[in-house]
Amino acid sequence: MPAAEKKTVSARKATIAVLVDNEPGVLARVVGLFSGRGYNIDSLTVNEVDEAAGLSRITIVTYGTEMVIAQIMAQLQRIVPVHRVCDLVTQGLHVERELALVKVASSGDKRVEALRIADIFRARVVDSTIGSFVFEITGSLDKISAFVDLMRPLGLVDVSRTGVAAISRGPDPI
Amino acid sequence: MTDKQMTGSEILVKVLQDLGVDVIFGYPGGAVLPIYDALCQQNSLRHILVRQEGAAVHAAEGYARSTGKVGVVLVTSGPGATNCVTGLADALMDSVPVVCLTGQVPTHLIGNDAFQEADTLGITRPCTKHNYLVKDVDDLARVVREAFLVAASGRPGPVVVDLPKDVVTASTAYARPSAPIQHPSYSPRLKGDHDRISEAVDLLAGARQPLIYAGGGVVNSGPAASQLLTNLVNMTGIPTTLTLMGLGALPASNRNFIGMVGMHGSLEANMCMHDCDVMLCVGARFDDRVTGRTDAFSPESRKIHIDIDASSINKNIHVDVPIIGDCGYVLEHFIKLWKSRQARCDGDALDRWWTQIDGWRQRKSFSYKRSDTLIKPQHALEVLNRRISGRDDVYITTEVGQHQMWAAQFLHFEKPNHWMTSGGLGTMGYGLPAALGVQIAHPDALVIDVAGEASVLMNMQEMSTLAQYRLPVKAFILNNRWMGMVRQWQEFFFGGRYSESYMDSLPDFVKLAEAYGAVGLRASTPDELDDVVDEMIATPSAVIADIVVDPDENVYPMIPAGAAHNQVTMSPDEEVVLDQVHKEEGMVLV
Ligand SMILES: Cc1ncc(C[n+]2csc(CCOP(=O)(O)OP(=O)(O)O)c2C)c(N)n1
Ligand SMILES: [Mg+2]
């Protein structure tokens, strides 16, 4: 193994917040960086967060060794319209949330069970027909994955997930 | 200054003039006709018409690398832009400041598969430092200025500005801005962190077997950085190696220079890399041609790395003291601290280290067997080197292959910016158009493209450009009738099965030269060589010198891909010592 990796063989998760100019092409640049250099993307979200300053925030969940994550951050920083890059995992405490819409079609006991579990997970019903529900659920990646897994035998039809939004705890930005 | 209505094309020309651009390499077409119309109505911007757009980018690279200024390219939409891709990728890999202005179909047609439309932004995104599409004539001046700032500052690189036809024909009020432009997010760090530099000084001073390993970043930082590097080397007496891209950053005649490092570098440079205890890397990037096997790379050393690009640090090799900043700034700071602390390496240890290095040096790793009947390519370069040494108006470009490596080994550079070769991308066809660009920048200089017969054919059409502008570039072809470097790898790694590497049906280069209005010369035996080299240099016009060399010669020493620095193959008499694992790696690696 390369000498550089001896110290940090184990991969970890990173949740990277990237503040960028909200201009066409910037998302392609970021995504192209990941695909071009073979980094993983577990989740990616993007939206404008400061209309006046024309800034968007991209949140990327990835994993890799310390060296790879440092490399990803440096590569992101190199992109011309990128203002700030921050790994929330090493930055201190932070909150991560994802929203999912989960469609379940079933009847009888299964339908009742689906509702009961949704209740436990604090998922809301946002659409219902005689034979189906759409649940809205927010939470950590794990919580949503657990909910989706439980729905599988109960008539899971489709899932739409937003990807992770993340923000640091406390009064400071990022 | 009062605002004046101008068309986009006029504004573009004005901004280029204001930025100090004096030459554009380009090729016209539908989408850029308005710009060409504006160009022919002024005198201060010179346009050089190449014969293929790819050559325009290489010419701009040659211009940029030999002057330190930004090279400028102008091409049309669609095929004009796509022909530039190789050059842009080349400039990105070798950090060459180039601004490439591409025409584009009118904004209302973008996305319609219009005639000569290509997604230039999408295609060039991964092979540029940055790119822009100008959608509004009011943004044009700012974007072009910004493009020059981005191309030239920080780690330099190519920038594309895509210009839709309706934008360059639209009119707007234009006033020259009073202040230089500022970019909201882009601001490369020039000065290194003081504490890190201080740590680095202490680390280097404590070394017993130190090594300085410097690269193209020193050249890119400007001549002052090369001078600072030379001062540091002289002050400390530390053995110093340069990368292919860094040649000239320290004079080759400096007694502390131990030759180029890497796959075909000198034995002493590679052994020093392997055995040093502290390595000071300045503006180089530990690429795989330099490191060989990363897990066996310089195992005992503590490493300091100065680089303006944070992403170059800890990318391939873990370093102990990273310093992010411009080589020039950091070296200046480093030297100041070194002096104020009266730092010095342990003299006895350094002497012992030099004794060991001299032992490696004595093995003369670049030596080769002379022949009375065949011109050895190395010999041809030795003759050339003798003829050009002592002159500081000589610029060398190369193509890619064995001849390139021999040129790096046998030609000696005393100054930066005099050696232009495609290092990172390894682009055959680079040398002739790059030489063209160098000659435009230095009309009275002796500009020589050290070429292979296969590579030079890739942009041979540029002989016509040389003729048009009376550019006396010399193509010095080491003609071995093979894609020599490919043949060498097939010999070493593929059982001598020479698949498609023989160059059949080559043109008669002497007649070809004549067809282009240049002078053709040929040397086929060693006794013809000296006269041909002299005549080539003395000829006031462009020359193709066809040097018919030994077809079987290989480049030594060689660290095969997948091997460590102390596993050097020195000569054909030595077996390539590779166990099966590494042989397979060698086949997979490039
Ligand atoms: C555009 C391009 N295509 C292919 C290659 C792969 N390649 C590297 S060296 C080489 C052979 C070069 O032959 P020649 O120019 O005659 O130089 P020699 O090695 O014989 O000195 C080839 C094909 C390359 N580097 N660039
Ligand atoms: Mg050849």
Mind giving me the DSSP string for B353-373? HHHHHHHHHHT-TT-----SS
Residue B47 dihedral angles phi and psi, to the nearest 5°: -110, 130
CA–centroid distance, residue B90 to ligand 1 (Å): 15
Of ligand 1's listed atoms, the one at least distance from the Cα of B480 is: 20
- B276 token code pair: 């040093």
Asked if B311's CB is within 8 angstroms of A78's CB, the reply is yes
Q: List chain B residues with CB under 8 Å of A70.
A: 314
Best of B264, B400, B405 for a ligand 1 pocket test (most atoms within 8 Å of beta carbon): B400
Q: Calculate mean pLDDT across residues B85-94.
A: 98
In B, which residues are within 8 Å of A29 by CB distance?
Answer: 125
pLDDT (mean) for B325-345: 97
Ligand 1 atom closest to the Cα of residue B425 is: 25
Question: What distance in Å separates the CA atoms of residue B103 and residue B165, rounded to the nearest whole number?
Answer: 7
DSSP string, chain A: --HHHHTT-S-EEEEEEEEEE--TTHHHHHHHHHHHTT---SEEEEEEEETTTTEEEEEEEEEE-HHHHHHHHHHHHHSTTEEEEEEHHHHS-EEEEEEEEEEEE--HHHHHHHHHHHHHTTPEEEEEETTEEEEEEEE-HHHHHHHHHHHGGGTEEEEEE---EEEESSSS--
pLDDT at B581: 46
Q: Give the residue-averaged pLDDT of B130-147.
A: 97
How far apart are the CA of B487 and the centre of ligand 1, in A? 10
**C-alpha–C-alpha distance, residues B399 and B332, integer Å:** 35
Average pLDDT over residues B573-578: 58
CA distance B52 to B54: 6
Amino acid B589: pLDDT: 57
- Among A146, A156, A157, A154, residue whose Cα is nearest residue A109: A154
Residue B534's contacts (CB-CB under 8 Å, 6 or more residues apart) are B387
- For B127, which DSSP code? G
Helix (H, G, I), strand (E, B) or coil at B74: strand
Strand partners, B100: B73, B160
CB contact under 8 A, A71 and B315: yes
- Give Cα separations from A20 to A27, A84, B37, B310 (angstroms): 9, 7, 38, 19
Q: What is the mean pLDDT of residues B322-339?
A: 98
Q: Which residues contact B331 (CB under 8 A, 6 or more apart)?
A: B225, B228, B229, B232, B282, B306
Q: What is the mean pLDDT of residues B359-381?
A: 96
Strands (E) across B249-383 are located at: 257-260, 278-282, 302-307, 321-324
- The encoded tokens of residue B363 equal 């093995």
Q: Is B335 exposed, middle or buried (0-12, 13-18, 19+ CB in 10 A)?
A: middle
Calculate ∠ Cα B23-B100-B63, nearest 5°.
Answer: 40
Neighbours of A61 (CB within 10 A): 22
Q: What is the pLDDT of residue B586?
A: 53
Catalytic residue among B4, B115, B511, B574: B115
Q: Which one is predicted more confidently, B507 or B185? A: B507
Find out whether the beta carbon of B256 lies less than 6 Å from any atom of ligand 1: no
Distance CA B252, CA B254 (A): 6
Q: What is the pLDDT, as a whole number, of residue B442?
A: 98
Note the pLDDT of residue B180. 81
Comparing C-alpha atoms, which of B475, B472, B455 is closest to residue B532? B475
Of the listed ligands, the closest to the CA of B406 is: 1
Number of inter-chain CB pairs under 8 A, A vs B: 62
Look up the pTM and report it.
Answer: 0.95
Across the interface, whether the CB atoms of B125 and A75 are under 8 A apart is answered no
**Which is nearest to B413 in space by CA: B435, B396, B426?**
B396
Q: Indicate if ligand 1 lies below 6 Å from the C-beta of B490.
A: no
Determine whether the shortest distance from the Cβ of B401 to ligand 1 is under 6 A. yes
Ligand 1 contact, B406 CB (< 6 A)? no
Residue type, B442: H
Residue B456 CA, closest ligand 1 atom number: 15
- Amino acid type, B71: G
CA distances from B259 to B132, B241, B244, B364 (A): 41, 6, 10, 11
Question: pLDDT digits over B10-64, tens only?
Answer: 999 999 999 999 999 999 999 999 999 999 999 999 999 999 999 999 999 999 9
pLDDT for res B40: 97
Q: Is A81–B185 a contact, with Cβ atoms under 8 angstroms apart? A: yes
Nearest Cα residue to atom 4 of ligand 1: B428
What H or E segment, with its residue span, contains residue B180?
Answer: none
Does the structure show a pLDDT above 80 at B430? yes
Token pair listed for A61: 């969940």
> What CA–CA distance (Å, rounded) separates B576 from B581?
13
Beta carbon of B264 within 6 Å of any ligand 1 atom:
no
CB contact under 8 A, A3 and B318: yes
Q: Do B318 and A5 touch (CB under 8 A)?
A: yes
**pLDDT attached to residue B583:** 52
Chain B, nearest residue to A53 by Cα: B184
The total of other beta-carbon atoms located within 10 Å of residue B461's CB is: 15
- Residue B557: asked if its preceding bond is cis (omega within 30°), the reply is yes
Indicate which residue of B460, B485, B503, B536 is catalytic.
B485
Separation of B493 CA from ligand 2 center, angstroms?
Answer: 19
Cα distance between residue B254 and residue B414, in whole Å: 9
How large a percentage of chain A has pLDDT more than 90? 91
Give the chain B residue nearest A2 (alpha carbons).
B295
Q: What is the mean pLDDT of residues B211-237?
A: 98
Task: Tell me the C-alpha distance between B149 and B182, whole Å.
Answer: 9
Task: Give the three-class secondary structure for B251.
Answer: coil
What number is the average pLDDT over the span A57-73? Answer: 95
Q: Between A40 and B217, where is the model more confident? A: B217
Residues pairing with A139 in the sheet: A98
**Cβ contact, residue pair A28, B125, below 8 Å:** yes
Residues 6+ apart with CB under 8 A from B443: none
> How many other CB atoms are found less than 10 A from the CB of residue B168?
27
How long is chain B?
590
Which member of A4, A71, A83 has the closest CB to residue B185?
A: A83
To test the contact with chain B by mutation, choose from A1, A78, A83, A85 the residue with the greatest count of B C-beta atoms within 10 A, namely A78
**ipTM, interface predicted TM-score of the complex:** 0.90
B184 pLDDT higher than 90: no
Stretch B582-589: mean pLDDT: 55
Residue B2 binned pLDDT confidence (cut-offs 50, 70, 90): low
pLDDT at B372 over 80: yes
In terms of CA atoms, which chain B residue is nearest residue A73? B311
For residue B312, pLDDT beyond 60: yes
Q: Would you say B316 and B287 are in contact if contact means Cβ atoms under 8 Å apart?
A: yes
- On average, the pLDDT of chain B sits at 95
Please provide residue B588's backbone torsions phi and psi, each rounded to the nearest 5 degrees.
-80, -40
Terminal alpha carbon distance of chain B: 57
Residue among B34, B111, B112, B29 at smallest CA distance from B76: B29
B273: annotated active-site residue? no
Q: Per CB distance under 8 Å, which residues of A are interface residues toward B?
A: 1-7, 20-21, 24-25, 28-29, 32, 36, 67, 70-71, 74-75, 77-83
Confidence of residue A7 (pLDDT cuts 50, 70, 90): very low
d(CA A124, CA B120): 46
Report the share of chain B in percent with pLDDT over 70. 97
C-alpha B241/C-alpha B215 separation (Å) is: 9
B267-304 pLDDT tens trace? 999 999 999 999 999 999 999 999 988 888 999 999 99
Report CB contact under 8 Å: B186, A80.
yes
Residue B427 has pLDDT above 90, yes or no: yes
Q: How far is CA B106 from CA B133, B136, B139, B191, in A?
A: 12, 11, 16, 43
pLDDT band at A3 (very low <50, low <70, confident <90, very high): very low
Compute the nearest-CA separation of B414 from chain A (Å).
33
Residues of B in contact with A7 (CB under 8 A): 318
Q: Is the pLDDT of residue B336 over 80?
A: yes
A5 confidence band (pLDDT: 50, 70, 90)? very low
Which residues are paired to B558 by β-bridges?
B569
* B484 C-beta closer than 6 A to ligand 1: yes
Active-site residue, B14 included: no
Average pLDDT (A135-142) is 95
Angle at alpha carbon of residue A68, lines to A41 and B126, rounded to 5°:
65
